[in-house]
Structure 1
């Protein structure tokens, strides 16, 4: 490993919406900041992102490129690299190792590492992901409105997604697949919502002319559908948080780092933001979380340095002549 560079006030691990937003606030606060980005954004398969005021419909890659230009204007550095380790060297002192061979010093660390969507084990889903196989109706529902929807039931959320997407289409078919059979109460809700239930395990997709045409079942049936919603399993990229010993909290989607309202983890000097703390964080929410973390970090550093200066001044005044 090469010699340590820095020091930086803050190293941000991850260059998505959360990480860039934290970097923007800290750069405007005249902090020396390094954002390390491995280039694996969660929403890369999507052609556009929706629901972000003033950025509705913008391609994700354009959004990130604009964010990089903005943070660079305030002196924030960005490295296309991967963080392999973060080591605490004492209160407010961290060494951050990069895959490219550098080690950098930081007073604070922001983990904006995001997550990976783990799709159900159905042939063809991954190839259509972000196109006509979707997971979030708030992100994509309007764009596919009034088309025939299919929903593969999730073992975690059950029929919830099928009920929800009826706001965007009245032609919805639920495939319980390998999830538990809906209860009598659930079947009543589905009937009231106008959702058709088709039993049987999903075996694959019927794709024609590069468009989803239907859902194939293991018994040979094909149910025509133009859009398929699935609840992807979320696998957080939290190896760094785990190695640092950050406390976790259990969620229906597995353990995630426990943070306070400002993004602080249980490890002093380490923040976690965006999808690093939960799978249901949209782009606009991730940006807000990064903003809040940047604000809190600058506040802590500024007042902490002043307190240290006061203590040193008092120590000098009390020292014998």
Structure 2
């Protein structure tokens, strides 16, 4: 039996494994090899790895973990979980059953792409969600923002640290007169109409086509589609969740423990509102250390 099974081997899961491996705890990491940021050409804001492709960072991390004899990295999908603290069973898609005293859920979330031609194809390249991740490279250029609700008003204020040229696409959302007045005060262009197509030009530049025959070209387009967990294991376990503007997230305490003793969660699955590799790595490390300390005798 393992000390810990980690389900999800991206930044949060591998960070947890590193802490546990260094504590000489026996760990198995189950991963399908489909991290959320695989569409991004570069990752930014991670100290020591700024402007490196995220898949390259993960490959290097996995290579570094190989020197820890108690860590096993397995490419497999976890299909179900049963048991309780000190005696969990994880059943995988290849018919295997693994046991562990503790579990860490770090299988992340998936973005729910709108049914707009060109959106999914340009996601992570010309259409991005995070100014901290991509804003510096396109500072003082023409940004576009697809409005997705009240949270978008805060994004407008946030983006002004990077650019003074911003166009907002309501895309069918009702923007109240007082918010429209505030956007006008900030010299933000409001381009009404529903988006029917997004076409990529050179580099990150895209042209947004609307159902009123208007089209607008921007240097980069920001969007915040809703998300959902990439697996449903937490549902079968009955773990508590919280609603966020982006979707549901697992409820965890300051030690990253969920509502079920012995199960921890980290990364976007338990913090979708501030998704970044730095946050995921930090939360993963906390989850790993918390799981290890919970087994002390």
Determine if the alignment matches structure 1 residue 259 to structure 2 residue 252. Answer: yes
Q: Which residue number in structure 2 is paired with residue 215 of structure 1?
A: 208
Alpha-carbon distance, 1:225 to partner: 1.5
TM-score, scaled to structure 2? 0.95
| Residue equivalent to 2:263 | 270
SS in 1 for 2:28: strand
Distance 2:154 2:114 in 1: 17
Per-residue CA deviation, residues 58-94 of structure 1 (Å, 9 max, x unaligned), is: 1101111111122221121000111111111x43211
Q: Please state how far the C-alpha of 1:211 moved relative to its aligned partner.
A: 5.3
Match of 2:241 in 1: 248
Residue matched to 1:84: 79
Query: Which of the residues 179, 185, 188 maps onto 1:186?
Result: 179
Task: Say which SS state the counterpart of residue 178 (structure 1) adopts.
Answer: coil
SS in 1 for 2:152: coil
TM-score (norm. length: structure 1)? 0.88
Q: C-alpha distance in 1, partners of 2:247/2:138?
A: 30
Q: 8 Å contact 1:163–1:190 — kept in the other structure?
A: no
The 2-side partners of 1:195 and 1:241 are apart by 41
Q: Any idea what SS the aligned residue of 2:160 has?
A: helix
> Greater Rg, structure 1 or structure 2?
1
Structure 1 runs of 4+ with >6 Å offset: none
Alignment: residue pair count: 295
Q: Are the equivalent residues in 1 in contact too, given 2:225–2:246 (CA < 8 A)?
A: no
Counterpart for residue 168 of structure 1:
162
In structure 2, C-alpha distance between the alignment counterparts of 1:260 and 1:206, rounded to whole Å: 43
Structure 1 unaligned segments of length 5 or more: list them.
1-6, 307-321
d(CA) in 2 for partners of 1:170 and 1:91? 53
Cα gap change, 1:247 to 1:208, in 2 (>3 Å): closer
Question: Which position in structure 2 is the counterpart of 1:148?
Answer: 142
Structure 2: state its 5+ residue gaps: none
